[in-house]
Structure 1
């Protein structure tokens, strides 16, 4: 699966970008070629849509990205579709957890209201953009054409201004709650990473990167937390999720396999039959007969 952060950062000759420490500012035409693709990022990021439209999906829910819409994506995976046209351009700001933790600590110092309590919430947070925020975004967009390029100090200041303008907006309290929850964690919750992303066909190395752990540490801690191996846990979760989709939706079997994180339909059908004693197609037929 494509790590969109790496994809952009290591191709500066193709996609406009500015880098400040681990913070990545990217302004680009979406490189997606297929009708639907799975992507992930090991950093959370803000997307502001400049033109065109995209639809993104996670766990049966969808969000439409259209001009002037702004969203925060927690680190992890999602499915994106080309929607109506392929003329899509966005400004993305990728931010490591360590930076977000420091930012919210500083925000607490001058914020007079009470921060919303910690909320797990959705992986995708829709954001309200007022004139102040829009002005900061336009300033940053101008940096991509500026010569000489802005300094790291300037870039970091603009990132802080943009984020503070979003946090001050009372319509964005869900974002404030999420960032507030990061401060109280010593490290990323392995349980939350896996529960939020098991339905995507990520490698163990990619799960470990989202969780900000080495692969060896990830495997060791996974066994301690879940009392089983990653492979066995993922198989059980994906099969259970596929079973639910077969029971509650009219999705084609191929789509169920894809949505559940299986590499291909033949593999899905084989392991499903081993678990439930029948193929996915026959399982659904039996459900229909039982209700008729």
Structure 2
């Protein structure tokens, strides 16, 4: 017989790339995870996980336990939520993934306030700049900044806020190297690339009067961390193409200068992706999404109009 705790334990293993990752998710030591998994397999009389080196994969029996376990825990969650709704409460576990910088600046404060307002909700906020690599079963709500190339079937997208991409550089860099007059001039400038998601980050696209101009940059500086890239630009190391939410304050303060304002760049809207699991449709998810949408309307990075 498997209890809810057993199912939660095994699902943490099923959704992790390795036992070490599962131990971190469960906040226990790897030997403790291995011992409990072995005891679970002995109790059931079946082999649930194949371990090859540092990686793991589920056996057919393991896939069955994971599939049925999600359904059982989902039903229990639905029951808890239905009873809580009759008491006027919001309860349950809410798993959110968001980009690193945007998540720190805008999602984390809303998550903290939401949990304080709903003490029976447990929030797990994971920040990653490779959200596309996070399996859909691992989250109830994902926040994405930028175009969505391929959404998994069953996901529901809700646009939360507009967000432009802007080309900019520091006054010190421009004083030393001059302003580009057209996209082609960028080939003579030091360009800095942010390597995130799976985008072709060295192909910069500009549009004017219905015509697209593509420039292949050769960055001497690149990073997967937006804060590092922004810091290089502020230090006068080169030009960056960044989200409006990240550089709007620097532009207003004069620390950065917007370049080629007559050209449009592909926008990067802020979008919420609801998972296909039933828990993603729960009241806690919907209410958190409403709270986040409210916090982003109007977008905090754009000056309010009188």
Q: Does the alignment reach a TM-score above 0.5?
A: no
TM-score normalised by the shorter chain: which range applies? Answer: under 0.3
Which is bigger in relative contact order (C-alpha 8 A, separation at least 6)? Answer: 2
State which structure, 1 or 2, has the greater radius of gyration over its C-alpha atoms: 2
Larger relative helix fraction: 1
TM-score (norm 1): 0.24
